[in-house]
Chain A
Amino acid sequence: MMTRLLASLRGRLRRRRIEREIAEELQDHLEREIAAHQMRGVSPDEARRLALRDLGGLVQTRDATRDVYATWLDGLWRDLRYAVRVLRRAPRFTVTALTLLVVGIGSTTAIISVAYAVLLRPLPYPDPERLVFLAEKDGGGIAWPDFQDWRARATSFDGLASSLADSVLLTNGPVPKRFESRSVTANFFRVIGSTAYRGRLFDEADSRPESGATVVVSHGFWLRELGGDAAAIGQTMSINRRPFTIIGIMPPGFRYMTPADVYLLLEPQVAANYRGMQSRLTHTTLFAVGRMKPGVSVIAARTEMQAIAEALALESTGKVGPYVRVQLVSLSDRIVGTMAPTLTVLSGAVTLLLLITCVNLAAMLLNRATARSHEFRIRAAIGGSRWVLIRQLLVEHGVLVGAGGLLGAAAGAAILTGLIAAAPRDMPRLDEIHLDLAVLMWTTLACAACAGVFGFVPIVKTAGTIMQGAVVRSGRGPTRSATSLRWGLMIAEMAVATVLLAGAGLMVHTMLRLTRVDPGFDPHNLQASSFSLTGASWPDARKQVFYDAVVERLRAVPGVESAAVTYSLPILGSNWWQVFMIEGTTAEHWIAVGEFPNAGMVPVSAGYFEALRIPLLKGRSFDRTDTPDSAPVAMINSRLARRYWPDGDSIGKQIRQGLPADPFGPWRTIVGVVGDIKQEGLDQNTPQQVFLPAVQVPRTTMFAVARTERSVASSSLDQAIHDLDPAIPVFNDRTMDRIMSEAASRRRIAMIVLTVFGSVAVILAAVGLYGVISQGVADRRQEIGVRVALGATYAQVVGLFLRHGLIVVGFGIGCGSAAALAMSRSLKSLVFGITATDPATLAATAALLALVALVACYMPARSAARVDPLEALRSD
């Protein structure tokens, strides 16, 4: 069939060529025939006349030959037209089947496309399987001296590089612009295997102190900011008010972890002790990437790095603490790490939906085939061959699935656009996602195969019986095997619906739990915006004054109740972790304990706790009496207080940041204890926190927060800060509600998809059940009529159909619940506050499904009981 179809298509495409070849072929025939006649001594003219006569005329033969092709195409065309007509005559079937196909193919293709782009497609670097990601214990950043020691001692790697996500100010114009940047070691691009789009990338020579400052920019930056001008290479750009020479442009789409527009060298920053990176105690967000030598396994590399880290710890402290750990994972695991569980769940859900689509399609085709068996019998009886019937069905199903595939592709593209819009902005590899044609082909083929198998089973059977001359059964009754096939499909459908609905139930339950979590502060009507005070023009003394000015200015904005300045926002996490010492304890004591006291350090302005409505439990808050020159003070959270002063007398005690040998700042007196807040996110435990007066510990980049009594235009915060100094970059303006909603987006996507799919699955299952039982009722009308006539009661007739339906439902829900339990592992990392096998949720799911199924069974069963015996017996 396929080869013939192809031959005909080829024929169509090459119609002109075929005509030319036929003419040539006939000409060849004539000349041979003429030559043959002449050999026998006939004159040339007579020979030509005889040859033409025997051929039956050149033009006639040519046309007759050409018509062979036309007839074949006509046959196909006729089948297509007939199929479209048949489908249009059954609009309810066609629309339902098409909707089913569009939903099934569209959503499956869209979501598997995302999963493929993010999870499965190799990273866009050469030999990505040899790349590994390295972090210090618990995934923390690496201290620069540690990284240097690692690089010097490790033998598993062809190269070990490190990089740091950062942001820079472009200070070319009057108003500085902020850009995402990445500071990389000189060997970074060589290690990951990237090459420049234009110009060149960094090499070791660039990192020598005597070389001038150089910068590499992204392709997007080059187009947007430099006008895509090839002459940009070699030009100078002012970054953080210092001149840098542009040496290269990255290829389009290049990305490492987070997107960045500007790539700077890390070594000069270390040399300048940027962020105190020369200290072994400073753990910024510096992470390393290594290219393993060929043949080295991840486990071997991890073992070597762990040994190196322990040796280093032994040399510096004389002891290997339990906290000496190196995290080494393959780069692709790290990049997709956080999204992997969500995507696995989504792909699983979508596969189940495709399965349910196929099952439903199968049931529909089976029903339709049974309903049409009469038509087929008649056609077979008047001489239609089995082959013709099958060919026609094939074309019919082909048209249906083909149309479904096309519309499904359009729906898939639309769903994909929506998904990309709803995805968290930091979702990895978002820019690499597009509708995958291979996936579309596979989903469509799955439906086609399903239509093929289930659409033909009854036909082959019907046609077969006729061929054998069997007695024609009365019009409608289905065969026994078709009925049991249908019930089998219903069980599968109920089971799949149970799994999807259980997943949806777990995610809804999780989201409910999350909204009930007490964040420890009041997140509503809270706005935040961050600003940077960088460069030599911002000495600490000027920053200290400026914080107060920002708070003053924000309070003057209409609608703002209170305002403050902070280094870290709740939910978004701490961005300054440090160990500290407690008065009266020694380093040796803590080494024996196995862990130094540590906390997230948060410099805040006076009024911060009042603005966020974080309760003060003990002592006092920071206020105007805390100045740069007053006694150094600190506040702590309740969790830290309980940990180090379990008897509750923390007020008045002294702490000092850093280790005894390497302190950071003066001893500080604890003046207050505040309540715990969900600093790291609603689903995370509260960390130990130390709050410092921002005037005593000024930082470059701070958040301004404002409590408003009504919603204030977000730009008014930025405007207020710009009023003070238009040259200050202000960015990331958001409400706290928005921050919390973005933090939950991973779970929300899972919840939305599972809920939508679960609902679709339940509706499909209910409709399917309704259809199968209605069909049963229709098939058995006469039998019901007889029963009613013989005195069967309403309850008996209803029970007859209900019983059968409910057995199937119970079986389906049972199988589905078992499957849901088996698959609960994949939801483990997404649920919160409940287990992935939460019995209440599963029970509720089963109950809801049973109820829906009961209704779906009861409606047709009730109509059976209303059958009028006289009418039923008279029909047929």
Chain B
Amino acid sequence: MNKTQLLQGTLDLLILRILDLGPNHGWGISNRLQQISLDGLKTSQGSLYPALHRLELRGELKSEMTASENNRRARVYTITGAGRKRLTKEAEMWDAFALSMRRVLRMGR
């Protein structure tokens, strides 16, 4: 099974988790994603941005354009209350899911 396919549904959750640590911009999130998952969950950076904007439309993130070095502007994302709520809920679901999967896969070994 392809790693990226597995990731599609969980990308939202990972983004929320990273932003739970503090506000960050797109590149920072992508970088963080690689660091904490030790490159094991490497995703196409291209799918990150649509996901960020979708989350913002759902009210789970908010963003602000801020000045950055070299006269550029960077968009900085912050998690919202709704986002935190979803993170808690889905993290629990993941735990339960992972637990059952492990039980099933190790059955009879």
Contacts and interface: CB of A to CB of B under 8 A. Distances in A.
A155 B26 CA distance: 75
A11 B57 contact: yes
Contact of B27 (A21, A32, A68, A72): A32
Most chain-B Cβ atoms within 10 A of its Cβ — which of A7, A55, A69? A55
Contacts of A57: 46
B72 A31 contact: yes
Task: Give the interface centre of B45, B46, B65 by most chain A CB atoms within 10 Å.
Answer: B46
Contact of A68 (B57, B68, B75): B57
Contact of A29 (B26, B70, B73): B26
Interface size class of B (residues with CB under 8 A): 20 to 34
B53 A69 contact: yes
A67 interface: yes
Interface in A58-81: 60-61, 64-65, 67-69, 72
A56 B45 contact: yes
B57 A69 contact: yes
B46 A64 contact: yes
B72 A29 contact: no
B2 interface: no
B49 A3 contact: no
A8 interface: yes
Interface in B22-57: 25-27, 30-31, 44-47, 49-50, 53-54, 56-57
Contacts of A28: 25-27, 68, 72-75
Given A24-B73, A25-B26, A29-B27, A68 B59 contact: no
Contacts of B65: 21, 24
B58 interface: yes
A26 B49 contact: yes
Contacts of A838: none
B49 A54 contact: no
Interface residues of A, number: 29
Contacts of A68: 50, 53-54, 57
Contacts of B27: 28-29, 32-33
Contacts of A684: none
A440 to B, nearest CB: 30
Given A21-B65, A64-B50, A68-B50, A29 B45 contact: yes
A164 B101 CA distance: 95
A4 B57 contact: yes
A22 interface: yes
A258 interface: no
Interface in B48-94: 49-50, 53-54, 56-59, 65, 68, 70, 72-75
Nearest to A27: B72
Most buried by B among A26, A65, A72: A65
Contacts of A26: 26, 49
B49 A25 contact: yes
A274 to B, nearest CB: 75
Interface in A440-457: none
A55 B57 contact: no
A25 B75 contact: yes
Contact of A61 (B46, B58, B72, B73): B46
A21 B47 CA distance: 17
Given A33-B27, A55-B45, A65 B73 contact: no
A65 B45 contact: no
A409 B30 CA distance: 53
Contact of B53 (A3, A24, A29, A65): A65
Contacts of B72: 24, 27-28, 31
A350 B49 CA distance: 54
B57 A7 contact: yes
B50 A65 contact: yes
A54 B44 contact: yes
Given A24-B72, A28-B68, A60 B46 contact: yes
Given A4-B59, A28-B73, A61 B49 contact: yes
Contacts of B54: 68
A194 B65 CA distance: 52
Contacts of A36: 31
B52 to A, nearest CB: 8
Contacts of B47: 56, 64
A29 B26 CA distance: 7
Nearest to A63: B50
Interface string A19-52: 0011011111101110010000000000000000
Contacts of A32: 27
Nearest to A61: B46
Contact of A64 (B49, B58, B68, B70): B49
Contacts of A7: 56-57, 59
B30 A4 contact: no
Nearest to A18: B53
Contacts of A4: 57-59
Nearest to B58: A4
Contacts of B58: 4
Contacts of B30: 29
A64 B25 CA distance: 18
A100 B54 CA distance: 40
A680 B65 CA distance: 76
Contacts of A25: 25-26, 49, 74-75
A67 B50 CA distance: 8
B46 A55 contact: yes
A8 B75 contact: no
Nearest to B75: A25
Which residue of A8, A24, A29, A67 has the most chain B CB atoms within 10 A of its CB atom? A29
A68 B58 CA distance: 11
A56 B59 contact: no
Contacts of A54: 44-45
A65 B49 contact: yes
A74 to B, nearest CB: 12
Interface in A794-818: none
Nearest to A71: B54
A55 B25 CA distance: 15
A73 to B, nearest CB: 10
Given A24-B72, A28-B26, A28-B73, A56 B57 contact: no
Contacts of B50: 61, 64-65, 67-68
Interface in A653-710: none
A33 B44 CA distance: 13
A72 to B, nearest CB: 5
B45 A22 contact: no
Contacts of A33: 27, 45
Contacts of A21: 65, 73, 75
Interface of A: 3-4, 7-8, 11, 21-22, 24-29, 31-33, 36, 54-57, 60-61, 64-65, 67-69, 72
Interface of B: 25-27, 30-31, 44-47, 49-50, 53-54, 56-59, 65, 68, 70, 72-75
20 contacts: A4-B57, A4-B59, A7-B59, A22-B49, A24-B72, A25-B25, A25-B26, A25-B49, A25-B75, A26-B49, A28-B72, A28-B74, A28-B75, A31-B70, A33-B45, A64-B50, A67-B50, A68-B53, A68-B54, A69-B53
Given A8-B57, A28-B74, 14 more contacts: A4-B58, A7-B56, A21-B75, A22-B53, A24-B73, A25-B26, A25-B74, A31-B70, A33-B27, A56-B47, A61-B49, A64-B50, A65-B50, A69-B53
Closest 8 pairs (CB-CB, A-B): A56-B46, A32-B27, A61-B46, A68-B53, A29-B27, A65-B49, A25-B75, A64-B50
